[in-house]
């Protein structure tokens, strides 16, 4: 008897995933459906379980993250034979960060298959960046265990690598200030403001520390040789902080159900 059969009632079909739906969505032939059931189970569903981490998708997420990193690194290494390690590292980060993976998961339609609590579902869990990105990585782990590295590689190539212009992505400079402004506007917050909190160094070699205020609260600071660079660093820290706070909110909702 599987752990899911023991944990959930047979009458509750909402806790079961459909083999055909999984195969159609992921484009793979499923041998071990239980792996995909685990990959698509968010811990919020496992209320009453003494150790929800043991049967949620977190272990498969860990495995999938490693496989994803390997496949992407190998692809970039072969695609850009003349580029150095720093270039490859930055480009890989753009492909495998939470925002990019969540977008890949949305494009795939993965959110519709994720098993989660009603509270999490009502709280827009199916569009949560962290939940989608985690499930995406967990699915990669499941495919690897079920089908092997070749099928896992093909899945990553199809969903992550083949739909992006790598050369254009490499040329793109991340504008964290614009991203932070868009986030503030989406949440109906005032426009973020920046102020120089510290200057140091001789006149020909100044160092600036800039603080960003988001929704009336100090949300990050950055230090750089120019004010513009310091503002970008501060905006990035603010974005990372806000993303972490959103993830904690979803985790708190999950814990409240236990």
108 versus 53: the higher-pLDDT residue is 108
Catalytic residue among 61, 104, 134, 137: 137
For 223-233, the pLDDT digits (tens) are 999 999 999 99
CB atoms within 10 A of CB 191: 10
CB of 75 closer than 8 Å to CB of 54: no
Question: Yes or no: is domain 176-256 CATH 3.30.160.20?
Answer: yes
| The two structure tokens encoding residue 98 | 């939470």
Question: Would you list the domain boundaries of the chain?
Answer: 3-171, 176-256
> What pLDDT band is residue 181 in, cutting at 50, 70 and 90?
confident
CB of 125 closer than 8 Å to CB of 110: no
CB of 116 closer than 8 Å to CB of 256: no
CA dist 156 → 16, 99, 116, 153, 162 (Å): 25, 16, 24, 5, 9
Residue 240 pLDDT > 70 = yes
Catalytic residue status for 61: no
- Give the pLDDT of residue 111: 87
CB of 43 closer than 8 Å to CB of 27: no
Catalytic residue status for 150: no
Residue 98 pLDDT > 60 = yes
- Which CATH architecture describes the domain 3-171? Orthogonal Bundle (1.10)
Check: pTM over 0.85? Answer yes or no.
no
For 1-40, the pLDDT digits (tens) are 333 433 333 344 446 788 999 999 999 999 999 999 999 9
Residue 189 pLDDT > 50 = yes
Show the CA angle centred on residue 211, arms to residues 89 and 214, nearest 5°: 95
Catalytic residue among 61, 65, 134, 146: 65
**Rounded-to-integer distance, Cα 254 and Cα 258, Å:** 7
For 103-113, the pLDDT digits (tens) are 999 999 998 88
């Amino acid at each position: 008897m599987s752990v899911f059969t023991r944990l959930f009632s047979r009458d509750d079909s909402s806790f079961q995933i459909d083999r055909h739906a999984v195969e159609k969505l992921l484009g793979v032939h499923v041998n071990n459906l239980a792996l995909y059931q685990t990959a698509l189970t968010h811990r919020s569903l496992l209320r009453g379980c003494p150790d929800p981490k043991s049967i949620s998708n977190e272990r498969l997420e860990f495995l999938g993250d490693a496989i994803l990193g390997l496949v992407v690194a190998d692809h970039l290494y072969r695609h850009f034979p003349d580029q150095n390690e720093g270039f490859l590292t930055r480009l890989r980060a753009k492909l495998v960060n939470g925002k990019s993976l969540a977008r890949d998961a949305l494009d795939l339609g993965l959110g519709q298959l994720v098993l989660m609590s009603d509270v999490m579902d009502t709280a827009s869990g199916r569009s949560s960046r962290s939940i989608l990105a985690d499930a995406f990585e967990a699915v990669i782990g499941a495919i690897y265990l079920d089908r092997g590295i070749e099928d896992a590689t093909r899945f990553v190539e199809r969903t992550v690598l083949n739909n992006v212009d790598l050369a254009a992505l490499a040329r793109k400079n991340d504008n964290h200030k614009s991203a932070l402004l868009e986030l503030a506007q989406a949440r109906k917050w005032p426009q973020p403001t920046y102020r120089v909190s510290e200057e140091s160094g001789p006149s020909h070699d100044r160092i600036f520390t800039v603080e960003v205020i988001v929704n009336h609260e100090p949300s990050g600071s950055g230090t750089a040789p120019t004010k513009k660079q310091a503002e970008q660093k501060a905006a990035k820290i603010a974005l990372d902080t806000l993303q972490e706070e959103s993830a904690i909110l979803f985790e708190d909702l999950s814990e409240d159900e236990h």
